[in-house]
Structure 1
């Protein structure tokens, strides 16, 4: 009897031992990922690999070749990337992209924050209407935006007609055909497009900031500037990160707006990397150089988004 009892006790201890499969199963947290979970994401991973990773790898391979798209390719190694660093003609599009970052990212975020600060401090009727109107450029296709603004900025367009009606005809010019003003004109269109997106994001984030924080700041005698810096801006850190990421990517991958409005001109005054990739690959027959520029642009976008994400995560800790 005692031997039987001892065996039963030993079996129970073995069953309850931490090293047994049953014990590990009981200790496993609910919802812990299992191997079968990867089967659910496998279709998405397959699509991601086929339509993104594989073309990216192919582009990386083409960037190591001298190829015109038709004849036999020859090995180039890193020559195409070296040209990006040494050839001024290839560096100019990246300099233009850096300028567009100001118009596409910095200005929309700054204007969106200022408008959000004003709208959170003062109650304005028709907020839904204004929010819809400001967000409208995001709904329109960029081709439509480009065609509309090309008509506005034409030599006989609405802007010059308005300046003439105000007695400022001396300021009228061919905005998209001027070497000095073409890039700022395109950047202004980008500011108009992206400001609505930033404002809607910031207004949505401001709604979840507790009103008690604003009341406490006002009791402490905080003015509008201090209230913005101590309450609104810290509460919108995550939304600012999202807005910066979206606008930075929009600025660097800008192609359709450039293609519709200026086609990189006059000369190369508005040439940007994405448009230069298209021009070199499909017009000049420099597929290897275009691929190297595309890979470099991808790396720049990835690096900038990582910097924004790390900065926000570091400040939020």
Structure 2
């Protein structure tokens, strides 16, 4: 006579089962967002990489070209020049806003700490935040139109220079071959400085107040306190700011399109604008896709380097 002995699962088995069910529930929560991401980000990127291997005008049947489009990207001076312009804009869109954001953060944080031990903030902080974040709220098309008027021959900048007796510096800034790219870069720096400042101000709030107290006991003044305490503790925020602004510089389109349209000549042409022209004006979708793939890989490499450099040293 066979007797079957039934054993109840142990506590460890039950806990493992509960963890497994909880993990599956977590995946179900993120499934809608993952589906949207796959549908509207991953699949179009893969499709663009596929189209980059064809010579296609967007209408008729395309012909296989292999890596010829990528060879043209690296061989064509205009295509290489657009990537170089984007790298130059990184200085204006990334480094200048970060420096300006750090300076504004240092000015808005008063020496000493509050009663709670946190860094004291200057009165009217809300008004300062609103003022500096305004460029982020205004549509970039409106920003471009406004700055195009400011840079005009009879715009506010030239009128101010004439009023100060510096009429020799007046010029058609957006039409000058030497100054057009710099003028566009200044617009980007103005737009992104407020974003960097907000990131740094939020990072300051999480710094341990005891670090400031220790620095003051060692005789540190406001500048030394900012350099030795605040700046090292903002490593994560600096990495985020550098990543966001670098991507904005390399993938930028709207500010350049509205202000200069890529001119004069090709002096302010950037890859985003060139992709638009190749795909929708010249009917060279395959070449536009290849340039987009190269630009995406360049962004991924730079973001990876930024994240590696921003990791705490162990």
TM-score normalized by the length of structure 2: 0.90
Rg larger for: 1
Distance change (3 Å), C-alpha of 1:110 and 1:157? same
- Aligned to 2:109, the other structure's residue is in SS state helix
Find the counterpart in structure 2 of residue 168 from structure 1: 166
Selected match of 1:182 from 168, 180, 183: 180
**CA contact under 8 A between 1:101 and 1:251: conserved in structure 2?**
yes
Worse overlay, 221-230 or 26-35:
26-35
**CA contact under 8 A between 1:67 and 1:73: conserved in structure 2?**
yes
Q: Does 1:98 align with 2:87?
A: yes
Worse overlay, 297-306 or 35-44:
35-44
Selected match of 1:110 from 99, 104, 109: 99
Find the counterpart in structure 2 of residue 49 from structure 1: 38
Find the counterpart in structure 1 of residue 116 from structure 2: none
Inter-partner Cα distance in structure 1 for 2:298 and 2:257? 22
**CA contact under 8 A between 2:110 and 2:122: conserved in structure 1?**
no
Find the counterpart in structure 2 of residue 64 from structure 1: 53
Distance change (3 Å), C-alpha of 1:310 and 1:71? same
Q: Cα distance, 1:307 vs. partner?
A: 1.9
Q: Does 1:120 align with 2:109?
A: yes
Find the counterpart in structure 2 of residue 303 from structure 1: 301
Q: Cα distance, 1:124 vs. partner?
A: 3.1
Worse overlay, 40-49 or 50-59:
40-49
TM-score normalized by the length of structure 1: 0.89
**CA contact under 8 A between 1:176 and 1:261: conserved in structure 2?**
yes
Structure 1, gaps ≥5 residues long: 1-6
Structure 2, gaps ≥5 residues long: 112-120
- Aligned to 1:179, the other structure's residue is in SS state coil
Indicate the RMSD between aligned Cα atoms, in angstroms.
2.1
Inter-partner Cα distance in structure 2 for 1:174 and 1:57? 42
Inter-partner Cα distance in structure 2 for 1:308 and 1:96? 20
Worse overlay, 146-155 or 280-289:
280-289
- Aligned to 2:306, the other structure's residue is in SS state helix
Worse overlay, 244-253 or 66-75:
66-75
Q: Cα distance, 1:301 vs. partner?
A: 1.5
Give the count of matched residue pairs.
303
**CA contact under 8 A between 1:276 and 1:290: conserved in structure 2?**
yes
